[in-house]
Amino acid sequence: MKDIKRFFPVSPLSDRRIQIAGLGVREGMPGGFVSRPRGTGDYLMMYFHTPAQIQSRRGEEEVPTDSFYMWAPGEHQFYGCAEEFTHSWLHCDGDRVRRFYQTVFLKGGSLVPMPSPRSFLSFLEGVYEEILGNSMADDIIVENLLTNWMRDLNRHASGRMEYLPERLRLVRDFINEHYTEELTLGQLARLANWSVAHFSEEFRRHLGDSPINYVIRQRMQHAVYLLQDIHLSVTEVAARVGYENLYHFSKIFKRSLGESPRAYRRRHGFGAS
């Protein structure tokens, strides 16, 4: 979902704890600055996809790419860039939003770096779909979306969260879709556009295991699921998770789970074929 910009003269939510006045997703702005000395009378959440400048409680700040900020009612809403910039935003109000601002955002003090916009965009798109996709928006669903977003932002504001780099996310998703195929370390490193050594180091640091062990783990998890089907032989299970050699499959399965595929089947009562 891209380039959403929608204002609501009257909030589509009946619960006064959360009121929505407008939202935008990846809105492109021409060069220049927005300056509202008294704000807009509500809370304004904003994610900057590109560099910009803002006026925060700390004064004028340079905003790096992928940063989040939130203004309270009555605060000077000043933001922009001399050149074109892109941002996503939400105008909202209500007791629930006020508690969010006081207990979550203020802990961050100022700009909150967020290396990926996914959680905020997912939140905005979820709110948008709930409001526009139904004849009557469900206040509880919107509140739950806000709660989940609050928890995610709190992890970033407290420094307890480190996002998976986009290139590693790409490799992980590729493995999850193609783990039954023959995958090499060099192939995965090229996909990340890193050297094999650097890729292996970063993969282990962020995902807790080597790339090849990660592939094996996906295969073994799938094998465990397939072994529950008594109509499949162990040989067929091996082939379906990427092993043409039954002995090799059995060896890796035993090393991973502590017993052979046939022993696993017998112990769990799935048959002995």
pLDDT tens digits for 186-236? Answer: 999 999 999 999 999 999 988 889 999 999 999 999 999 999 999 999 999
- Can you give the pLDDT at residue 162? 62
Q: In the predicted model, is pLDDT for residue 108 greater than 60? A: no
Q: What is the mean pLDDT of residues 43-63?
A: 92
pLDDT category at 119 given cuts 50, 70, 90 is confident
Q: Closest Cα partner for 22 from 90, 102, 107? A: 90
In order of 216, 245, 257, the CA distances from 254 in angstroms are: 12, 14, 5
For residue 273, is it within any domain? no
- 109 and 205 in a single domain? The answer is no
The span from the CA of 235 to the CA of 243, in Å, is 9
Q: Where are the alpha helices (DSSP H) in 25-133?
A: 95-100, 106-108, 118-132
Final residue belonging to a domain, choices 115, 140, 157: 157
The CATH number that applies at residue 264 is: 1.10.10.60
For residue 22, is it within any domain? yes
- Which helix (H) or strand (E) segment holds residue 36: the answer is strand 32-36
- Provide the residue range defining the domain that includes 88: 4-157
Final residue belonging to a domain, choices 157, 189, 223: 157
- 134 and 23 in a single domain? The answer is yes
Number of domains in the chain: 2
- 62 and 115 in a single domain? The answer is yes
